[in-house]
Amino acid sequence: MEIHRQNIILGVYQKKTNKPYESSNHSLLPGENDFSKTFVIYNEGHTLGNPLKHIIVHPEVTFCGYTIPHPMEQKIHFRIQCTGKPAAEILRQGLKDLKKLNEEILVMLKSEIKNELES
C-alpha cells in the first residue's frame, strides 16, 4: 500500500501535484484551524480510512474519524481534532505508522510462506 502525496488535500498537498497548498488557494471550513482539520484523500475508501482511524491514537487527539461523501466518489473526508500538535502532523505520523505496520506484516507473511514451502 502506498499513499501518494498528491491524493491528500486541504492542509497537506494539492490533488495531482506535489506542491503544498497556498493559503490563498483554499479556504478553511468554519471552525477549522491547525488543530481541527478535514483532509480530503482521493482514490481511497474504507481500506485506508478505517485502519488509519484506529492507528491514530494519541493523547492529544480528541476526535478522529472519516466519512465517504457518496459511494460513487472515490474519496474520503478524514477529520482530526487535537490539542498540542497540528492535525497535519498527526496525519503524517499516522500514515507513517500505518506504512510501517504494513511492511512488518508483509515481512511476517513472506517468512511464513517461505517456511510453509520448505516444509
Mean pLDDT (whole number) for 32-50: 90
pLDDT at position 97 is 95
How many domains in the chain? 1
Q: Are 61 and 80 in contact (CB under 8 A)?
A: yes
Q: Which domain holds residue 47?
A: 5-118
Long-range contacts of 62-71 (CB under 8 A, 24+ apart): none
> What single DSSP character describes residue 33?
B
CATH assignment of the domain containing 29 = 3.30.1360.10
User: What is the reported pLDDT for 20?
Assistant: 43
Q: Which of 42-46, 94-98, 99-103, 110-114 has the lowest mean pLDDT?
A: 42-46
pLDDT of residue 33: 86
pTM: 0.73
C-alpha 78: how far from its chain's center? Answer: 7
Report, as an integer, the average pLDDT of 79-107: 94
- CA-based radius of gyration for the chain: 17
Average pLDDT over residues 55-77: 92
Sheet with 75-82: list strands edge to edge.
Answer: 8-9, 36-42, 75-82, 61-67
